[in-house]
Amino acid sequence: STTAGHDHDGVSSEGDLAPTSLAVAGATTIAGNITPTTSHTRSLGSGTYEFSALYVDGVTVDTLRALNSYAPYEVFTTGDTLVATDSGKYLIAYNTSIASSGIVDFILPAVTAGLEYKIVSGGTFYIRVDTSSALEGIMYSTCVVGDRILSAGASADSVTLVSDGSRWYVAEMKGTWTDAS
């Protein structure tokens, strides 16, 4: 189960409550300093921090956040056309049925100042990020790399894209990404 303020499997919940426990119904692997009790409830941190990392199939996703300042996340089992309400979330691409050479596609919305998307691979498959229009380029450093980028298919590849209203910019990138235009 989840507590208000977090997204789980694409279902959004609103609120400002910080989670204090996680109930697990079934087999699971939990790593780190999370100790199960006999009721299968696990503590998610102290009064200062919610949790130190999110593990998706052995991949650590940096999610350390001070209490009440966390970024929600959403797990995608297929690609998606992103919308403004996805801005600010960790978008985790994860699907055990995708072959290691499979591609998960994300399409960015039209450029709008202030939008920000952090897309993370939860496995060893490729992530392709496309703009909604070929006229909207993705800037990396000082050059336009095109309207589509592709990860190398390594575990934990990630990219953070932000918009100023005229273009998309790569704010952070982990792994090897190429122009896929």
Tens of pLDDT, residue by residue over 98-145, are 655 578 889 999 999 999 999 988 877 788 999 988 778 898 875 666
* Tokens at 13, concatenated: 């919940």
Calculate mean pLDDT across residues 36-40: 45
* 176 compared with 15, residue with greater pLDDT: 176
Residue 157 pLDDT more than 70? yes
SS3 string, 15-74, reads: CCCCCCEEECCCCCCCCCCCCECCCCEEECCCCCECCCEEEECCEEEECCCECCCCCCEE
Q: What is the pLDDT of residue 170?
A: 93
At 118, the amino acid letter reads K
Taking a C-beta distance cutoff of 8 angstroms, is the pair 125, 119 a contact?
no
Does the pLDDT of residue 11 top 50, yes or no? no
Dihedral (Cα; 176, 156, 106, 110), 10-degree rounding: -70
So what's the pLDDT on residue 115? Answer: 96
Q: What pTM value is reported for the model?
A: 0.60
Report pLDDT for 100: 55
Positive or negative, the CA dihedral 167, 168, 170, 171 is positive
Confidence of residue 46 (pLDDT cuts 50, 70, 90): very low
Provide the sign of the torsion angle of the four alpha carbons 54, 58, 59, 62, taken in this order: positive
Query: For strand 138-140 and strand 126-130, is the pairing parallel, antiparallel, or unpaired?
Result: unpaired
- What class does CATH assign to 73-179? mainly beta
Is the predicted pLDDT of residue 40 greater than 50, yes or no?
no
